[in-house]
Amino acid sequence: MEQTWEGLRGRLEADGTATVLGVPAYLYDLNFGDRVSVMRSAENALVATGVEHDALNFTFRVQLNFEEPNTSQLLAAELAENGCLIDFISPQFFAISCDEAQAQEVADRLFALEHDGVLHYETGRTQQLG
């Protein structure tokens, strides 16, 4: 199995776990607010080794099909108004975090925009909750 690395902000908790404080743009089944078990790397950086507590947030990744800054800004503003967190990797690529209650509405909106040829998207969850 190929390992994937992504630097994310986190907060070390008293119990030795860490809370993810960034929106993962490349990792699957890790979401904003999750608490993860960690270990120190040879370089002394904390490395997540597993999810200890699922915060029930959902991550979506969006790649716009064309370079128009207003499109990403308008979509980001719309999603942020609905309580989503947005992390821009580039003007055309960004990650979205939303809670469980918003996830289907966000997925439906992204699906419609993908159908209209505006963007491609994917979800960060590969497994069902529960």
DSSP 78-102: HHHHTT-EEEESSSSEEEEEEEHHH
Helix, strand, or coil (residue 112): helix
Per-residue pLDDT tens digits for 10-68: 999 999 999 999 999 998 999 999 999 999 888 888 888 999 999 999 999 999 998 77
Confidence of residue 7 (pLDDT cuts 50, 70, 90): confident
* Residues whose CB is less than 8 angstroms from the CB of residue 74 and which lie 6 or more positions away in sequence, other chains included: none
- What pLDDT score does 128 carry? 74
- Return the pLDDT at 3: 61
pLDDT at position 5, please? 65
What's the confidence (pLDDT) of residue 19?
Answer: 96
Please give the pLDDT value at position 68: 72
- Stretch 67-79: mean pLDDT: 85
In DSSP notation, 21-71 reads -S--SS-SS--TT-EEEEEE-TTS-EEEEEEEE---EEEEEEEESS--HHH
Residue ranges of domains in the chain, CATH in brackets: 10-53 (no CATH), 57-123 (3.30.70.1400)
CA distances (Å), origin 57, targets 1, 39, 47, 53, 76: 25, 23, 21, 11, 17
Q: Chain-wide mean pLDDT for the chain?
A: 91
